[in-house]
Amino acid sequence: MPALADSTLELTAGRQELIASMKTHLVRTGSGRRLDVVEAGDPRGRPIVVHHGTPGCKNLAAEWVSDAESRGVRLISFSRAGYGRSSRVEGRDVAQVVADLTVVLDHLGVERFASWGLSGGGPHVLACASLMPDRVVAAACLSGVAPYAAEGLNWMEGMGEDNREEFGQVLAGSTDQLLESARAAAAAMANASQDDLVEGMRTLLSDEDARVTRGPFGTYLLSSMVDGLGETAFGQLDDDLAFMRPWGFELSRIRVPTQVWQGGRDLMVPSSHGRWLSGAIPGADAHLNPDFGHLTVPAEHIPEVHSWLVAHF
């Protein structure tokens, strides 16, 4: 599918403080929807696709880009439907991401790729592993959420207060309230500092996660959330709804090498989700560390993830 004529080259700037230039695209689907895409690292390198968290967008952390450049990795990310400049798909399930990613990859000329997903991106990378076995060489789910209907899992047990309230609204069908809350949060974050972000997310941050949020990783996190929510906040609403509906694929059908990373000090997605996913995905390579938080995994362990993914090409 053709990109719009205004594909641009963004140079290092702003809060994200990227250490390298990034090539951005708006790619059109066959139905005319927009997909907001970014590339960084080695343009001729092994492609690794990043699925952002909830809420978030295509933005990439400077540390991830630096590591990609050092390994000869072509790092690709795109904003899921309803986030950033990507058009919404109302009522989407988790599996819908495969159709959008296929458009992105075909536009970029990428056939085989590896992939990792963070938090709310976890289910989406697992969808690709399950439904794109001829194209995915390996996948990694970092601090990822498990299906709401997972047998034997108390889904909200161990979540911080803010997440219990948010998903309680999903169960109650309070979509208007969810959307209003997301928009209010986006407005509050627009001029927030990293310390403000820590205070605003206090019920969801362990001490380890508060530490990395105050550091360089926090600049990425703040920019990704603000840019992702934009003016509509539909992406967060649609993610929340999708997590608690049938996902549209079977974890048991995953045959590609798959890692599961989860922390014992995670207040956003409790460690029980990682244990459940590790048991549900055939042959999963589990990294379940009692000392990890939710954000410490993407803040401090992406070089290990990239090294493992690259080894499977």
| Architecture field, domain 8-310 | 3-Layer(aba) Sandwich (3.40)
Is there a contact between 153 and 272 (Cβ–Cβ < 8 Å)? yes
> Which three-class secondary structure state does DSSP give residue 31?
coil
**pLDDT of 31:** 96
Instruction: Enumerate residue ranges in the chain where pLDDT < 50.
Output: 1-20
Distance between CA atoms of residues 250 and 127, nearest Å: 8
Is there a contact between 73 and 310 (Cβ–Cβ < 8 Å)? yes
Strands (E), 119-172: 136-142
For the chain, which residues make up each domain, given as ranges?
8-310
Is there a contact between 274 and 264 (Cβ–Cβ < 8 Å)? no
Is there a contact between 85 and 235 (Cβ–Cβ < 8 Å)? no
Its pTM stands at 0.93
**pLDDT of 301:** 98
**pLDDT of 152:** 97
Is there a contact between 300 and 142 (Cβ–Cβ < 8 Å)? no
Distance between CA atoms of residues 96 and 31, nearest Å: 14
**What is the helix (H) or strand (E) element at residue 35, kind and residue range?**
strand 34-41
Distance between CA atoms of residues 302 and 191, nearest Å: 28
Task: Say which residues have a Cβ less than 8 Å from residue 277's Cβ, sequence separation at least 6.
Answer: 122, 126, 141, 144, 146, 251, 260, 262, 284
Buried b (16+ CB within 10 A) or exposed e, 186-205: beebeebebeebbeebeebb
Instruction: Give the torsion sign (CA, 180, 187, 232, 92).
Output: negative
Is there a contact between 156 and 164 (Cβ–Cβ < 8 Å)? yes
Query: What does DSSP assign to residue 10?
Result: E
**pLDDT of 21:** 63
Helices (H) and strands (E) in the chain, counts: 12, 9
**pLDDT of 190:** 85
Give how far Cα 306 sits from Cα of 73, 90, 142, 257, 303, Å: 8, 33, 12, 13, 5
